[in-house]
A and B are shown apart, each in its own frame.
Chain A
Amino acid sequence: MKWLACELHTHTLHSDGSQTLEELAAGAANLGFDAIALTDHNTMSGLIGKEEIERIYGLLIIPGMEWTTFYGHMVTIGLSAFADWRQVDRDRIDVGIESVHRLGGIAGLAHPFRIGSPACTGCFWEYEIGNWSAVDYIEVWSGTFPSIQTNNRRAFDLWTDKLNEGYRIAATSGRDWHAQGETDEPISVTYLGIEDDAVAENGDEAALSIHEETLIQALREGRASVTIGPLLTLKLNADDVDYPIGSTVPSVVERPEVAAQPILVNLTLDFSVRVGLWALPKQICRLKLCSNLGEELSLEVPSSSDGQMMQFEVQLTQSAPDIPRRWIRSELWGTVQGAYVRVAFTNAIYFEEGGYPR
């Protein structure tokens, strides 16, 4: 699996940003991003000249648009054409999401707990979602140093609640990037996982050899890992089959001999990503496994300053027969700028209903 560094929420002067697409692309390339999504408010006109800018900066630019409405902001990416944001009532957002899907795109809740009108018009999510299965992702981290903000904690909790209810929804970060400018605050990255065979060998411009649909598909399937530091990845191995982030471990209720085998958990912390573009103070961090059963594991791991790759392998405990495990994810916790926060988290791996192991 190759992990591409993505920034999925950006603006230019085609809406209320104060940067051109070229300035945005240059800034993103300097910060080590492989891909960005342009999500201007209610317009896609900012994509003019995209191909040339992609070539100059070796950066993939995914088309998108932020539905900037009266009852919520919804980020949409990967659409082939415009989907109308103006016709959707408060109890009809499902129809809007459907229209995005029809055009090949995916839809996510942008900063769902940011304060709403009149401070930030429509910023708080007030749509009544009838069908949560249609929601592709939730932007659980918004802005710079996102893990410290209360509104992001509420978004993260919403995501966890939905996973507990059995929905398979991805989680992302988005800077909501409006202007170039230095910041001392940590910048978050959403890494999207691309199968090795989808990457053509193309030297430094590897990102450009990946079709944007491949990247959209990765997020659609929840192959995402979010961080303000090292890249954290998770893989399960059951019955000699690997299950990466976003995949589903099948039920083996029909095959008790397989269910008796423990599931192996492979965790990787890669400190070599985006070298020099982030820093984590030297400390002992906590690497956790979390699921609908709660915190299943907590390991002490040292932070690494020499860019090394750390791997951990543990066995998953059997869940109680009356409460099946529905999903599992990994989180890295540590102290950043004086606050103990989530440094990184993976998207979930799911378990087919019926339970594995029983």
Chain B
Amino acid sequence: MKLLDLQGHASPEDSKTHIRIPFELDEGCGKLNLRLQYAPKTLENREKAIQLLKNSYDLYILPENREYAMENADRHLPLKNLMTLSLDDTRGYRGACHRQDELQELFVSEREASPGLTAGELVPGSWSVTLSLHCIVTDTCDYHLQIWTTEEDAI
């Protein structure tokens, strides 16, 4: 059963923010499925990427090492958008999937769960997904979150 189908857009100003997305889980659910996809993943505009890196080198690297850092900026390219997902059930935290994949197909059930999430009883009630926008480097980044339930053995 479909519980949520949410599309949204993020921009660089949304970096360093969380989006909390509540949803209701009904009685008798065997498996909760989540699918998060966002695009684009990388910033392809090299000139812009170099400028962003220069700003961060000014902030994070000692003055005497900045020139060397700029000469070796390629080691930090391409710059990537990073959006991660964490899950809370009615009782509390069910884990997070902190990785770079721009498509994450996840599930939790009583006996099993995707890496990062915790298997256990699917208690009906108010749940939530939190999208953590660690860094958005492209002008806009589209995201799509889908949540649905199935029988435990089904996909």
Contact = CB atoms under 8 A, between A and B. Distances in A.
B98 A117 contact: no
B52 interface: yes
B62 A154 contact: yes
Contacts, number: 83
A181 interface: no
B36 interface: no
Contact of B65 (A70, A84, A150): A150
Contacts of B52: 118
B59 interface: yes
Given A13-B115, A15-B116, A86-B130, A43 B95 contact: yes
A118 B62 contact: no
Chain A to chain B: the 6 pairs with minimum beta-carbon distance, closest first? A41-B98, A42-B96, A70-B16, A119-B76, A121-B134, A16-B99
A27 interface: no
Contact of B132 (A16, A86, A150, A154): A86
A121 B135 contact: yes
A144 interface: no
19 contacts: A15-B97, A16-B100, A41-B96, A42-B84, A45-B95, A45-B113, A45-B115, A45-B117, A45-B118, A86-B130, A115-B61, A116-B56, A117-B15, A117-B134, A118-B53, A118-B135, A118-B137, A124-B59, A150-B65
A262 interface: no
Interface residues of B, number: 36
Contacts of B59: 116, 124
Contact of A16 (B86, B95, B98): B98
B93 interface: yes
B148 interface: no
Nearest to A83: B93
A86 B86 contact: yes
Nearest to B99: A16
Contacts of B93: 82, 84
Contacts of B95: 42-45
A38 to B, nearest CB: 13
Interface of A: 12-16, 40-46, 68, 70-71, 82, 84, 86, 113, 115-119, 121-122, 124, 150, 154
A317 to B, nearest CB: 34
Given A70-B16, A119-B76, A150-B65, A14 B135 contact: no
Contacts of B117: 43, 45
Interface in B68-125: 76, 79-80, 82, 84, 86, 92-93, 95-100, 113, 115-118
Given A15-B99, A16-B98, A40-B98, 15 more contacts: A42-B84, A42-B86, A43-B95, A43-B97, A43-B116, A43-B117, A44-B95, A68-B98, A86-B86, A115-B60, A116-B60, A117-B135, A118-B79, A118-B135, A119-B76
B56 A70 contact: no
A40 B97 CA distance: 10
Given A15-B99, A154-B62, A117 B115 contact: no
Nearest to B69: A115
Nearest to A150: B65
B143 interface: no
B9 interface: no
Contacts of B97: 15, 43
Contacts of A45: 95, 113, 115-118
A86 B98 contact: no
Nearest to A124: B60
A119 B60 CA distance: 11
Pick from A42, A115, A121, A154 the residue with the most CB of B within 10 Å: A121
Given A45-B95, A118-B53, A150 B15 contact: no
Contacts of B53: 118-119
A124 to B, nearest CB: 5
Given A118-B53, A121-B134, A43 B96 contact: yes
B115 A14 contact: yes
